[in-house]
Amino acid sequence: MKLAAAAGGGLFLGFNWSDTNAAPVVVDANQIAAGAVKFNSYLSIGSDNIITIVSPNPEIGQGIKTAFPMVVAEELDADWKLVKTVQGKLDNAQFERQVTGGSGAVPHSWERLRKAGATARYLLVNAAATKWGVPVLEITTADSKLSHKASGKSASYGEFAEAAGKLTAPTDIKLKDEKTFKLIGQSVRNVDNKNIATGKPLFGLDFYREGMLFAIIQRPKAFGFKLKSVDSAAAKAMPGIVDVVTFENSVAVVGKSTWQCKKAREALKIEYEKAADLESSEDHNRIFSNLMDNGEATVRRKNGDVEAAFKSAAKVIKSEYQCPFLPHSPLEPMNFFAHVREDGVELVGPTQTPDRARGEAAKITGFPPEKITVEITRQGGGFGRRLSADFAIEAVHVSKLVKAPVKVIWTREDDMTGGTYRPAVRYRFEAALDKNGEMIGYKLRGVGINSGNPTREDNFPSGSVDNLLIDSVEHKSAITTGPWRAPITNFLAYAEQSFIDEVAEAAGKDPVEFRLALLEKAKKSPAGEVKYDVDRMIAVIRLAAEKSNWGKKKGVFQGFSVYFSHRSYVAQVGEVVVEKGKPTLKNVIAAVDCGIVINKSGSLQQVRGGVVDGLGHAMFGNMTFKGGTPDQSNFNGFRLIRMNEIPEVDVHFVENGISPTGLGEPALPPAGGAVANAFYKATKQRLRNQPFINEEAFKGIS
């Protein structure tokens, strides 16, 4: 415990802007420290009663910059109106995990954040008890105030901040009983609402620095190409261009404005040569079909005797499902600022993994990590794309080569054709039913293109089927892939939940009852290890069925889906009605168990947004290739869902008081299945491939 040094520190949020017309959103560490006591890495309290809470993890739209400080403020009994939230710089010695990915931040930091708040509260109470000469236990706290009822004494936190800061922090701290939470569970508005609505420079693309150069990079136009030769004479002669530099397979046009660089890039004369197969989408279809039957499979999970079960089956159901590659399309394209100096490196920009950016910069420049700073800007979406460091690596290369501060900017076309896609995958599901309609055997084979493991072998229905085999085959391609919001499960959940529907129908059972029976079986006599909480899964199924009035609505075709991912449980019901002979998706009802809901407003929108995202990409998302080159390069060719295409989304949370889990991803996976199953009920046509819009069953409908 120490007083924050008033000197040094620099900017917390590094927006620096040479034009005085812009009002930069700058939180200066000195400003915070002026009369403020730093209690721990998360919070400081000023004599003016302002509490500053640092949110260390990257904000990409998941609401963490609001939710994390809420947790600290809850245990502190802080008055939320007096809380200022700032984005922390990369400092993983203090914060450990500064990543936005896998919906993992909340489960990782829940205890840490609570302890940070509770410790500061403890110290304030002790400081007041000493000063007032009253027992610690008689002091109560609320709204950033300390009170002692018997003596009538009261004071603000600010008045005791300095005294409390001199006390020794306890090693063990008692946390609140969750039932007494006041702030957690409320609807708290996004802390950056005002800045967003008034156009303040918040995002990576908004970061400007005096003397900064811009860089637009030409990357190989096809996956499988490598750079052979560059003629940059014409580009260099164009207005505003400072230099053209080459590194690895990239050619960077460096200049004084984005537009000038973009135009000069068109004047580059580049020759490429083939370094790997230049694949087209037709090749992928052939590869899928070949590997499905003949590929060398890696077994992911095996229970019982699958072959015997299928031999003895009264009925066998078999289906295949396929999805294409997808770009992430965050609305803010990739960009990054780097300044490789004589004495170190400064990095600023939108990254979900600031530590990875630093590690890569260290490798390129030879500087040790402590000579490299990383400031994290607000990010215009991520969806997994900013888990990669490629754009940061580029900025470091270019800055090093031109010896100047540089911001690399990707155009939308660069962003969409630049790879790191959601991998294309094909699944084959097989189910064996006995004469009573019980699922006695289950097989899943996933064939993926650069997908790693395209299955999630321990997810439902694993554990509920005695004889089960899940395996996968991988095809290596020059087309680059990476995590895309709810990796793998973003498509697998739809395929599996649609197939389960097929099986339920073949068994002559209600889709909800069929799922519940499987889960009861997983509970009573599990087949192998069960790595999800059966009761929590049952609870969301029942809640979704109840809230949607499952099976009892006239003229409404309902489809069911449930999925466990990223430690949270989500069930969804899609509702289709037939209007003027056309099936129309009207509603999606979602039941969600993410444990304790931290911010009701943020969580509600996170679920709605997840459903819209899952549905939109299932319906329209399609990335195809010809000779290694993507066919789609902007939103005119690649269709994103729009306001006139969304259903109503009704969200219900399970209240069970369990420690919170993430919500950035789990609402997305079940969306496609709920909708496809409802569509089937209305039309008797299965949608087995994404995008739905290209399916035969869909032609002439949308």
Partner 1 sequence: MASFKLTINNRAYSADVEGDTPLLWVLRDNLGLVGTKYGCGIAQCGACTVHLDGKAVRSCVLPVSAVGKAKVTTIEGLSEKGDHPVQKAWDEVDVAQCGYCQAGQIMTAAAFLKEKPKPTDEEIVGAMSGNLCRCGTYHRIREAVKVAASKTN
Binding region for partner 1 (CB under 8 A): 17-22, 59-63, 187, 189-190, 192-194, 196-203, 205-206, 208, 214, 239, 257-260, 329-333, 378-383, 411-413, 601-602, 605-606, 608-613, 616, 634-636, 640-644, 646, 648-649
CB of 161 to partner 1, least distance (A): 30
Query: Judged by CB, which is closer to partner 1: 200, or 300?
Result: 200
Which residues neighbour 586 within 8 Å (Cβ) at sequence distance 6 or greater?
A: 556, 575, 576, 577, 647, 648
CB of 582 to partner 1, least distance (A): 18
| Cα dihedral sign, 431-435-440-441 | negative
Query: Judged by CB, which is closer to partner 1: 518, or 623?
Result: 623
Q: Residue 245 burial by CB count (10 A; 0-12/13-18/19+): exposed, middle or buried? A: buried
Query: Judged by CB, which is closer to partner 1: 149, or 189?
Result: 189
- Decide if 384 contacts 482 (C-beta within 8 A): yes
Query: Judged by CB, which is closer to partner 1: 52, or 190?
Result: 190
CB of 203 to partner 1, least distance (A): 6
CB of 448 to partner 1, least distance (A): 25
- Decide if 386 contacts 317 (C-beta within 8 A): no
Which residues neighbour 190 within 8 Å (Cβ) at sequence distance 6 or greater?
A: 63, 65, 66, 196, 602
CB of 351 to partner 1, least distance (A): 14
CB of 199 to partner 1, least distance (A): 2
- Decide if 333 contacts 410 (C-beta within 8 A): yes
Rounded-to-integer distance, Cα 342 and Cα 29, Å: 25
Query: Judged by CB, which is closer to partner 1: 440, or 623?
Result: 623
Rounded-to-integer distance, Cα 674 and Cα 497, Å: 8
Burial 325-348 (b: 16+ CB within 10 A, else e): bbbbbbebbbbbbbbbeeeebbbb
Query: Judged by CB, which is closer to partner 1: 259, or 315?
Result: 259
Rounded-to-integer distance, Cα 587 and Cα 569, Å: 20
Query: Judged by CB, which is closer to partner 1: 13, or 120?
Result: 13
Query: Judged by CB, which is closer to partner 1: 171, or 636?
Result: 636
- Decide if 48 contacts 35 (C-beta within 8 A): yes
Which residues neighbour 56 within 8 Å (Cβ) at sequence distance 6 or greater?
A: 41, 42, 68, 88, 91, 94, 95, 98
Cis, peptide link before residue 324, omega less than 30° from 0: no
CB of 477 to partner 1, least distance (A): 26
Query: Judged by CB, which is closer to partner 1: 1, or 212?
Result: 212
Q: Which two tokens stand for residue 56?
A: 């260390």
Which residues neighbour 113 within 8 Å (Cβ) at sequence distance 6 or greater?
A: 42, 68, 71, 72, 75
Burial 256-279 (b: 16+ CB within 10 A, else e): eebebbbbbbebbebeeeebeebb
CB of 218 to partner 1, least distance (A): 16
CB of 583 to partner 1, least distance (A): 20
- Decide if 426 contacts 292 (C-beta within 8 A): yes
- Most distant CA atoms of the chain, gap in Å: 84
- Decide if 88 contacts 55 (C-beta within 8 A): yes
Query: Judged by CB, which is closer to partner 1: 75, or 613?
Result: 613
Which residues neighbour 642 within 8 Å (Cβ) at sequence distance 6 or greater?
A: none
Query: Judged by CB, which is closer to partner 1: 80, or 132?
Result: 80
CB of 73 to partner 1, least distance (A): 17
CB of 302 to partner 1, least distance (A): 39
Residues for the chain: how many in total?
702
Which residues neighbour 99 within 8 Å (Cβ) at sequence distance 6 or greater?
A: 57, 58, 105, 352, 353, 355, 387
Rounded-to-integer distance, Cα 64 and Cα 667, Å: 17
* Residue 407, strand partner residues: 214, 337
CB of 66 to partner 1, least distance (A): 9
Query: Judged by CB, which is closer to partner 1: 204, or 487?
Result: 204
Query: Judged by CB, which is closer to partner 1: 135, or 637?
Result: 637
| Cα dihedral sign, 538-539-544-546 | positive
Query: Judged by CB, which is closer to partner 1: 407, or 475?
Result: 407
CB of 571 to partner 1, least distance (A): 19
Query: Judged by CB, which is closer to partner 1: 117, or 647?
Result: 647
H/E stretch holding 391: helix 390-402
CB of 439 to partner 1, least distance (A): 34
CB of 269 to partner 1, least distance (A): 22
Query: Judged by CB, which is closer to partner 1: 256, or 274?
Result: 256
Query: Judged by CB, which is closer to partner 1: 538, or 663?
Result: 663
CB of 666 to partner 1, least distance (A): 15
CB of 19 to partner 1, least distance (A): 3
If we measure between CA atoms, which residue out of 489, 491, 507 comes closest to residue 431?
Answer: 507
* Residue 473, strand partner residues: 447
HEC sequence for 196-244: HHCCCCCEHHHCECCCCEEEEEECCCCCCEEEEEEECHHHHCCCCEEEE
Q: Which two tokens stand for residue 356?
A: 């990875």
Query: Judged by CB, which is closer to partner 1: 40, or 411?
Result: 411
CB of 670 to partner 1, least distance (A): 15
